[in-house]
């Protein structure tokens, strides 16, 4: 098992955000869905060492991550594409990539990233603050891939993007998954995207994982969608 | 005319010194947002260490290196053990560093006494340089301007052109995200703090050669650095240069023409700039 989350609890002050999350991820992509405020982003941040974990454990490749600095977690091979993208506004595109590029023979290099996202090459001298939402998302994905991770965590990568951009992100993710050397934990509001990319889907309710289902199972069952998400995938799924 | 020119030259050379002192403060406070009110103490520590090294070795370059390295080590220790854990907690950092500066001032007073010291400069820096209208002007004060320009260019290249500089700017933007892409942020912060401390230690040796070292200088340079960085805009290197020029010129021209009020002139500038541009001349909202 690549990633194993057990009894994970996170408190901000007195309010409890995660109440004992249980999650396992091998090499097949897993999506986490749920309504707003259920703790999905907090889960990402907790795995990445960016949220105050009060109990529980996160094991990655047989190594405990809780209590480590986020830079140590990143160096073990976990990369995050955070919610809101969090591009550095005063760095140019090129500087973002220089910052994360490691020397030596790596699977992902600056050239390969520019091949996958030609738009970033055109914008390489522009500051992060001057990019459009879609370009920022490409850069956030590129930045994470250049870390050459074994596990990529993506927190709502399609949020606020135009349909064409969503399609590009989905295509890139699927290609990456098919290549098979990066495991994917995808947090999504857009159920259509989650079902398209992931094999199984975990439903998060009130800081817990309520249920883990096969993607096909959830896609077929409108009742389940209504119950856990209050939406149906129908309209969203058509967008893809 | 001669008075005005002389006051202007004095203002520019003082500004050069203020800039070197404040460039370290720009890195530490302006960019990293670490509140370090012991900046003046690092100036004094650098100056005294430089003095000891010069007394032992008789070499001015060694004194410069000693002052810079000594202040850097002290600065990195302060950051690593006391300040990094309070990152983002301005009030605590302010209180800790005020406490440190009081302790440092007393320790230095106990070790070096209350008299002022001056450096023996290398032969080539003595004497004056002939200039039109003013007659002669001390060579070392001209050298000071050159040093300030060199520090400016070196810092600019470091911040804009190197990978370390990219890390500094990224850390200013989003410290947590920088950690999440595998950069050891606490280490980088301590190194940047050390670099800022090295600059002010270097400035301590230079400043006590041009003027002198004595107890009380720490508060003076802390205050000038605060004014320079706030007037210029937090974290802006060109801003610090402009701020230093404004403050240096105001002090010297004020001293020449209306000595009674010259002491408040730099604060008048600060108030005026902040009323007009709340983030400083070249600053931008955080």
CATH code of the domain in which B255 resides: 1.10.3470
DSSP readout, B163-182? HHHHHHHHHHH-HHHHHHTT
Q: Is residue B282 part of a domain?
A: no
CB-based contact (8 Å) between B170 and chain A? yes
Number of domains in chain B: 1
Whether the predicted pLDDT of A183 surpasses 60: yes
Instruction: Let me know: does A20 contact A208? Beta carbons within 8 Å.
Output: yes
pLDDT at A240: 41
| A15-25 β-sheet, strand order | A15-25, A3-12, A53-60
Determine the residue among A82, A90, A101, A130 to mutate to test chain B binding: the one whose Cβ has the most chain B Cβ atoms within 10 Å: A90
pLDDT at A102: 81
pLDDT at B178: 94
| 3-class DSSP assignment, residue B10 | helix
Q: What is the CA radius of gyration of chain B?
A: 19
More confident residue, B135 or A4: A4
> Long-range CB contacts (< 8 A, 24+ apart) of B83-90?
B83/B34, B83/B36, B83/B193, B84/B186, B84/B189, B84/B190, B87/B34, B87/B175, B87/B189, B88/B33, B90/B35
Q: How many C-beta atoms lie closer than 10 Å to residue A190's C-beta? A: 22
Using 50, 70 and 90 to split pLDDT, how confident is the model at A236? very low
pLDDT at B262: 80
Burial of A68 (C-beta count, 10 Å sphere; 0-12/13-18/19+): middle
For the packed helices A163-179 and A133-146, what is the interaxial angle rounded to 10 degrees?
10
Cα separation, B69 vs A78, in Å, equals: 37
Q: How far is A77 from chain B (nearest CA, A)?
A: 9
More confident residue, A36 or B182: B182
| DSSP summary character for residue A92 | B
pLDDT at B133: 75
pTM over 0.80: yes
In which domain, by residue range, is B75 found? Answer: 2-276
Q: What dihedral angle (degrees, nearest 10) is formed by the CA atoms of B265, B238, B165, B25?
A: -10
Q: Is residue B285 part of a domain?
A: no
Q: Supply A132's token pair.
A: 């459009």
CA B192 to centroid of chain Cα atoms: 14
CB-based contact (8 Å) between B6 and chain A? no
More confident residue, B117 or A56: A56
Partner-chain residue, chosen from A80, A95, A98, that has the shortest CB–CB distance to B180:
A80
Determine the residue among A48, A71, A93, A140 to mutate to test chain B binding: the one whose Cβ has the most chain B Cβ atoms within 10 Å: A71
Q: How far lies A141's CA from each of A46, A97, A119, A138, B143, in Å? A: 20, 11, 13, 5, 50
Tell me the chain B residues in contact with residue A98 when contact means C-beta distances shorter than 8 Å.
Answer: 163, 166
Contact call for A74 and B186, based on CB within 8 A: no
- Burial state string for B257-283 with b = 16 or more CB within 10 A and e = fewer than 16: eeeeebeebbeebbeebeeeeebbbbb
Using 50, 70 and 90 to split pLDDT, how confident is the model at A13? confident
Element at B257 (helix H, strand E)? helix B237-257
Q: Mean pLDDT for each consecutive 10-residue tract of chain B (286 residues)? A: 88 94 90 90 95 90 94 96 89 95 94 83 77 80 92 95 93 90 93 96 90 86 91 89 93 88 86 91 78
Q: Is residue B286 part of a domain?
A: no
- Stretch 195-254 of chain B: residues touching chain A, C-beta under 8 Å: none
Tell me the chain B residues in contact with residue A143 when contact means C-beta distances shorter than 8 Å.
Answer: 181
What pLDDT, in 10s, does the model give residues A80-105? Answer: 999 999 999 989 999 999 999 887 77
Q: Supply B113's token pair.
A: 């006494």
Percent of chain A with pLDDT over 90: 54
Contact call for A99 and B174, based on CB within 8 A: no
Cα separation, B105 vs B98, in Å, equals: 11
CATH code of the domain in which A10 resides: 3.40.50.300
Q: Supply A129's token pair.
A: 């603050």
**Residue for token digits 């080590």?**
B73
Tell me the chain A residues in contact with residue B173 when contact means C-beta distances shorter than 8 Å.
Answer: 88-91
In which domain, by residue range, is A127 found? Answer: 3-239
- Mean pLDDT computed over every residue of chain A: 88
| 3-class DSSP assignment, residue A212 | strand
Contact call for A69 and B184, based on CB within 8 A: yes
Number of domains in chain A: 1
Show the DSSP H helices in A69-221 as ranges.
70-76, 93-100, 110-116, 118-122, 133-146, 163-179, 191-197, 215-220
Burial of A57 (C-beta count, 10 Å sphere; 0-12/13-18/19+): middle
Element at A20 (helix H, strand E)? strand A15-25
pLDDT at A210: 86
Using 50, 70 and 90 to split pLDDT, how confident is the model at A231? low
């Amino acid at each position: 098992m690549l990633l194993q989350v057990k009894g994970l609890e996170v408190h901000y002050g007195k309010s409890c955000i995660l109440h004992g999350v249980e999650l396992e991820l091998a090499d097949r992509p897993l999506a986490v869905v749920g309504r707003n405020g259920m703790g999905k982003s907090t889960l990402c941040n907790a795995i990445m060492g960016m949220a105050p974990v009060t109990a529980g454990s996160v094991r990655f490749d047989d190594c405990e991550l809780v209590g480590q600095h986020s830079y140590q977690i990143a160096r073990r091979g976990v990369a995050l594409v955070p919610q809101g993208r969090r591009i550095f506004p005063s760095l140019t595109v090129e500087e973002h990539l220089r910052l994360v590029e490691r020397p030596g023979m790596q699977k992902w290099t600056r050239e390969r990233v520019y091949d996958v996202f030609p738009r970033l090459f055109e914008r390489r001298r522009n500051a992060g603050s001057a990019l459009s939402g879609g370009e920022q998302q490409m850069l956030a994905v590129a930045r994470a891939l250049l870390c050459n991770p074994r596990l990529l965590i993506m927190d709502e990568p399609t949020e606020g993007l135009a349909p064409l951009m969503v399609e590009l992100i989905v295509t890139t993710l699927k290609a990456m998954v098919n290549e098979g050397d990066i495991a994917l934990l995808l947090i999504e509001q857009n159920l259509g995207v989650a079902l398209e990319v992931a094999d199984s889907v975990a439903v998060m309710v009130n800081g817990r994982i309520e249920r883990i289902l096969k993607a096909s199972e959830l896609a077929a069952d409108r009742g389940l969608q209504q119950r856990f998400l209050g939406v149906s995938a129908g309209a969203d799924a058509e967008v893809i | 005319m001669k008075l005005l020119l002389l006051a202007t030259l004095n203002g520019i050379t003082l500004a050069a010194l203020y800039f070197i002192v404040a460039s370290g403060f720009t890195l530490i406070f302006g960019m990293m947002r670490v509140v370090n009110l012991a900046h003046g103490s690092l100036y004094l520590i650098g100056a005294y260490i430089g003095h000891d090294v010069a007394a032992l070795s008789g070499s001015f370059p060694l004194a410069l290196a000693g002052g810079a390295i000594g202040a850097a080590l002290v600065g990195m220790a302060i950051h690593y053990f006391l300040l990094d854990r309070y990152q983002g907690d301005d009030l605590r950092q302010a209180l800790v560093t005020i406490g440190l500066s009081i302790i440092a001032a007393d320790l230095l007073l106990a070790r070096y006494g209350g008299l002022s010291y001056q450096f023996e400069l290398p032969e080539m820096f003595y004497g004056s340089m002939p200039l039109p209208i003013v007659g002669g002007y001390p060579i070392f004060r001209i050298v000071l301007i050159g040093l300030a320009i060199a520090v400016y260019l070196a810092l600019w290249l470091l911040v804009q052109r190197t990978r370390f500089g990219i890390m500094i700017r990224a850390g200013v933007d989003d410290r947590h995200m920088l950690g999440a892409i595998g950069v050891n942020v606490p280490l980088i912060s301590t190194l940047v703090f050390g670099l800022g401390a090295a600059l002010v230690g270097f400035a301590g040796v230079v400043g006590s050669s041009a003027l002198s070292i004595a107890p009380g200088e720490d508060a003076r340079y802390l205050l000038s650095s605060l004014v320079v960085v706030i007037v210029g805009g937090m974290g802006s290197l060109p801003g610090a240069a402009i701020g230093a020029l404004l403050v240096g010129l105001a002090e010297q021209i004020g001293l020449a023409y209306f000595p009674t009020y010259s002491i408040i002139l730099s604060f008048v500038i600060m108030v005026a700039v902040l009323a007009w541009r709340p983030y400083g001349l070249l600053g931008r909202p955080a």
